[in-house]
Amino acid sequence: MDFSLLLVLAVAITGIVWLLDIVWWRRARRARLATAESQVDGELDAATRGKLAKEPWPVDYARSFFPVLLIVLVLRSFVVEPFQIPSGSMRPTLKVGDFILVNKFTYGLRLPVINTEILDLGEPERGDIMVFRFPDDPSVNFIKRVVGLPGDRIRYEDKQLYVNGQPVAKSVTDDDADDAPGERQFEERLGGVAHAIYNNPQDPGPQMREVVVPDGQYFMMGDNRDHSNDSRYWGFVPEENIVGEAFAVWMHWDGGLPSFSSVRLLE
> Is 144 in the active site?
yes
Catalytic residue among 144, 159, 170, 231: 144
Catalytic residue among 89, 104, 159, 228: 89
Q: What is the 3-state secondary structure (H, E, C) of the chain?
A: CCHHHHHHHHHHHHHHHHHHHHHHHHHHHHHHHHHHHHCCCCCCCHHHHHHHHCCCHHHHHHHHHHHHHHHHHHHHHHCEEEEECCCCCCCCCCCCCEEEEEECCCCCEECCCCCCEEECCCCCCCCCEEEEECCCCCCCEEEEEEEECCCCEEEEECCEEEECCEECCEEEEECCCCCCCCCEEEEEEECCEEEEEEECCCCCCCCEEEEECCCCEEEEECCECCCCCCHHHHCCEEHHHEEEEEEEEEEECCCCCCECCCCEECC
> Is 261 in the active site?
no
**Catalytic positions:** 89, 144
